[in-house]
Amino acid sequence: MYKEYFKFYKHINSLEKQSNIIDFENEVNTKFMKPKILTSEFFNDDKEILDNLGLKSNISDWKCYDVLNVPGLIFIKNPFTSIGQKYWLKRCIADYTKKPNRLNIDAHRILGDGEDWWTLSNKNGINLKLRNQLRWATLGYHHDWDTKVYSETAKSEFPMDLSKLSKTIIKLLQFPDEFMAEAAIVNFYHPSSTLSGHTDHSEYNLSAPLLSISFGLSAIFLIGGHSLDDKPVAILLRSGDTIIMSKESRLCYHGVPKVLLPKNDQYFNYDNELEEPFKSYMQVTRININVRQVNNV
C-alpha cells in the first residue's frame, strides 16, 4: 500500500483538492493531530540560548503537535526565526559540504585538494552542472550506503552548533534521556527529486529519537507503518518545519515522493531574505537535515 500512495503523490501537480494531505498551516484537525505542550522551565532565565540558535525565543510561539495516526511522530511548525533559517541553510550549503565531511560527489573525484563544492560551484559564474550534482553530505559518523553500518574508522567531528540545536529541541520536548547528536545526513533536493520509502535502522540505539529539519521548497512527507502493507499518511512540510520520529514511528517506512515546484511554493520567499548565490540556489532547492544518535549512552 505504501508504494501505491508514493506513486500517487509523486505524480500530483498541485495541492488543490488534496484534502488527504495533513497541513498544519490550517486549523487543527483533532482526528489527525493533538497540540503538544512544550516545557519552558529550562529556558525561563535564558531565552538567549534559543535566540542564539536561530529559534523563536518565546516558547508560546511554538506550534507543536503529536500526529495521532503515527504514534511517536511529533511535528513542530517552523520554530526558526528568519535570521535563524538563513543561518542554518548557509551552514548546510557552504560549511557542512566541506571536508572532512563526505559528499556523494566524492566518488567522482570532482574536487581537487583544498577545493570545496560551494566555492567551486560559484567560481567564475554559476556552474549549474556541479551545483546540481550534490545530493547529500554526511557529518559525524559517516553513513555507509552499501553496508548500512556505522564505523569508528569512518567518523569526523560533529558540528557543535548543530549538536546544540538538536539537543535543545529534544530537551524542550521532555524526552527522558539526554540526546547525543552523533551522525547527520544533509540532503539536497531539487523539484524532480524523490526519496523512496525506507526505514532508519542502522543506529545501535533505536530508542533515541531522530530529528529532521527542512529548509527551502516545500515537500510531501509520506510515513506509514512497520510494513509496506500499512496505509501511510501524507504531511506537507514547509521551510523550517521540524519532525521528530520517536517510539513506534522510529522504525516506520517513510520517504519524500514530491518536492513542490517553485511556482507552487509561496510559503517562504527568499527574494528579500538572501544574497546571491544562496538566493538562486534556494529558489530551486529543499534542504533536509536529519540528526540521529548512533550509540547507547
Annotated binding site for Fe cation: 198, 200, 254
**Sign, CA torsion 97/256/207/64:** positive
3-state DSSP call for residue 9? helix
Report CA Rg, the chain: 19
> How is residue 168 annotated by DSSP?
H
Q: Would you state the cell numbers that stand for residue 131, as one nine-digit string?
A: 551545483
Kind and range of the H or E element at 261? Answer: none
Strands annotated E in 78-156 = 102-103, 136-140
Tracing cell 559540504 back to the chain, one arrives at 97
- Are 93 and 278 a contacting pair, CB within 8 Å? yes
Q: Tell me the binding residues.
A: 198, 200, 254
292 has which bridge partners?
Answer: 183, 210
